[in-house]
Amino acid sequence: MNIRCIAIDDEPLAVKKIAGYIQKVPFLELAAECRSAAEAMNIMDSTDVQLLFVDINMPDISGMEFVKSLANKPYIVFTTAYSEYAVEGFQVEAVDYLLKPITFSNFLKAANRVKNLIELTANNQKGSVKTTADHLFVKSGYKLIRIEFADIKYIESQHEYIKIHMVNSSPVMTHLSLKSMDEQLPQDRFIRVHRSYIVNLSKISVIERNRIIFDGNVYIPVSEQYRDKFQEYIDRNFV
């Protein structure tokens, strides 16, 4: 298991130190080292990141504000020179809080804590999907739920889970990768349009500037990687 990470700190030596620690741990994979929250956000738009090591005290937007702004939060480990932020850090469900100067021993404890959480979640709530001609069954928690294809609007990746958005009922969460779900769905009824989204072709009614609009206020981007395939669908079905 590799846990893809980003190190975020506006201090060059500090971010290099965390990046170096990440590279020492066999189950951690360094996706990027960033000097600002904005730089990290750009990376996260194109890369599936599971863990952030975030400095709290940064200019423009603090690490705490950055984490609070994330709709789909990866696992978070805060780093800072100030111990008074610890309580606030745990209020945003950070896994750990590392006080500078950070030793490799303390860093490794935090990394192992994240690894254990990921493994525990996978063992307890590992999802599966079984499909038929017109419906699928997914495991959600300890329940097996039947979902009709016709009732699905779109499917969204959320870190270790996917969320299946429905027409007339609440979304269903299951511990499954979007890739696994995509492989099980009928390709004539569903299409992947983004690393984080699969949409039901029959539910598409509005497309605007490479975005699919659901319910007037949900905008799903069509990324460059999937644009040609989606354009073929448009050419076949829209006048």
Same domain, 11 and 117: yes
Q: Which of 82, 98, 124 is the last residue of a domain?
A: 124
Same domain, 29 and 85: yes
Same domain, 73 and 142: no
Same domain, 58 and 152: no
Contact 165, 156 (CB under 8 A): yes
Q: Which of 95, 124, 153 is the last residue of a domain?
A: 124
Same domain, 96 and 148: no
As given in the structure block, the two tokens for residue 12 are 């060059």
Residues sharing a CB contact under 8 Å with residue 12, sequence separation 6 or more, in sequence order: 35
Count of structural domains within the chain: 2
pLDDT digits (tens, 9 = 90+) for 184-196: 899 899 999 998 9
User: What is the CB neighbour count within 10 angstroms for residue 24?
Assistant: 11
Same domain, 43 and 115: yes
Q: How confident is the model at residue 103 (pLDDT cuts 50, 70, 90)?
A: very high
* Structural domain that includes position 113: 3-124
Same domain, 112 and 13: yes
Any long-range contacts for 30-35 (C-beta under 8 Å, 24+ apart)?
Answer: 30/5, 30/6, 31/4, 31/5, 31/6, 32/6, 32/7, 33/6, 33/7, 33/8, 34/6, 34/7, 34/8, 34/9, 35/8, 35/9, 35/10
Taking the whole predicted model, whether its pTM rises above 0.75 is answered as no
Q: How confident is the model at residue 15 (pLDDT cuts 50, 70, 90)?
A: very high
As given in the structure block, the two tokens for residue 80 are 């800072």
Same domain, 120 and 135: no
Distance of CA 145 to the CA centre of its chain: 23
Q: Measured between alpha carbons, how far is 104 from 235 in angstroms, rounded to an integer? A: 55
* The pLDDT value given to residue 113: 92
Q: Which of 92, 107, 124 is the last residue of a domain?
A: 124
Instruction: Give the chain's mean pLDDT.
Output: 86
Same domain, 9 and 112: yes
* Angle at CA of residue 162, ends 161 and 167, nearest 5°: 150
Q: What is the CATH number of the domain that holds 48?
A: 3.40.50.2300
Same domain, 140 and 232: yes
pLDDT digits (tens, 9 = 90+) for 104-152: 999 999 999 999 887 766 655 455 677 778 898 888 766 778 999 999 9
Q: How confident is the model at residue 38 (pLDDT cuts 50, 70, 90)?
A: very high
Same domain, 30 and 78: yes
